Amino acid sequence: MEKFGLIGQPLGHSFSPEIHSHLGDYEYKLYPLLQTELKDFMHNNPLSGFNVTIPYKTDVISFCNELSEKAAEIQSVNTIIKRADGSYFGDNTDYYGFLDLLGDNAKKIKGKKTLILGSGGTEKTVRTALLDMGASPVITISRSGKDNYDNISNHHDAFAIINTTPVGMYPENGKSAITLEHFTKCKLVIDMIYNPAKTKLLLDAEKLRIPYSSGLYMLVSQAKRASEIFQNKSIPHEKVLEITSTISRKTKNIVLIGMPGSGKTSIGKALAKISNRPFLDTDDIIANEKNIDASHILSTKGESFFRKIETEVLQEVTKLSGAIISVGGGVVTVPCNHALLHQNSTVVLIERDLGKLSIKNRPISQEKGIKELYRERKMLYKSFSDYTFHNHNINKTAKMINSKLLTHN
């Protein structure tokens, strides 16, 4: 079996091995390299070829004996083949992946000001593609260039913004290089990051109702083209959408929200079992960290104190991929939790007849009463949720969620 892989640093966020497992019958592994390790790897590795990601897309050029026309033009390489004599041929499949990601938007950006955030190897590829598609002017925003984050206000009239920096990438979720609200003419935002599924930049675009896209589709598209080079055979383009859908479904968490006593924890455990995913309950995490259960914290310290701890826990658990997460009933009362829940998850509201909701060990339910608590939170639950399922039976509800959201139909 031929061996391929991905080099870069860091690589803990990468979905590439999973993607390539759908593209061909070959080994594909991650090879995280420090800068000091790159030279030795390039001279001594067992691979027939490999992909290259940040920060080495430019550095590997000096090791290549020949470049494709597009790689030479862009001066960035993300796909390398080892030829029979041991020499390297460098190509750039990111270019074609980005064009694929643009799709119909390629027509819309023609003649329009487009900003690229970042000045690394990916920026070179994106700039070339944008210019080829007729975007004008194309402005690169860097930390120290002529156009930088200090004078970015000069470009608040941009039509499109493409982020090629790692700002906001797992595990540094929740960060963004810019504030979108000032870009009043922006009609398209693309973030090349794919983990989390929605960076802060994309969540801000969603809030402002600006069309947006993550880099996942591009990642799969460029991987398909790289795999064609690895295997020297064509792969149907339909595989790109198929794999993108599969990866998105597999890597997104399912977060269960709803009233106290609605069955979130029980359904979550059942769903985790049938979907073979890890299960986490934020109330249990809080209890383990504080050595005291959530209801006691609410009773003795008050709700605001508890919500602060809860949000801190959410900041970590919602960075995960492919988990089932049950959260407290009042999580929706803290506005910033909306972004945390949606950055990498599908949010599911569990509803249950109010008369069946227990108030045992639930201080807020006891204090306010079920009906009043539901009245206060009803619209918040709706605004937070992507899907709603009614809990008539724990196992049946878990199976319904699995069939709807986790099983390929």
| Residues belonging to the active site | 57
Tell me the residue type at 160: A
120, 97 Cβ separation under 8 angstroms: no
For residue 218, report the phi and psi dihedrals to the nearest 5 degrees. Answer: -65, -40
How many distinct helices (H) and strands (E) make up the chain? Answer: 17, 16
What is the strand order of the sheet 253-257 is part of?
279-281, 324-326, 253-257, 345-351, 387-390
143, 149 Cβ separation under 8 angstroms: yes
CA distance readout (Å), 355 to 193, 275, 340, 373, 395: 45, 30, 31, 13, 20
Listed in sequence order, the residues at least 6 apart from 384 whose beta carbon sits closer than 8 Å to its beta carbon are 257, 331, 332, 337, 338, 341, 347, 349
Distance between CA atoms of residues 272 and 278, nearest Å: 6
Tokens encoding 348: 């599911």
Listed in sequence order, the residues at least 6 apart from 110 whose beta carbon sits closer than 8 Å to its beta carbon are 133, 134, 135, 136
Tokens encoding 141: 């925003």
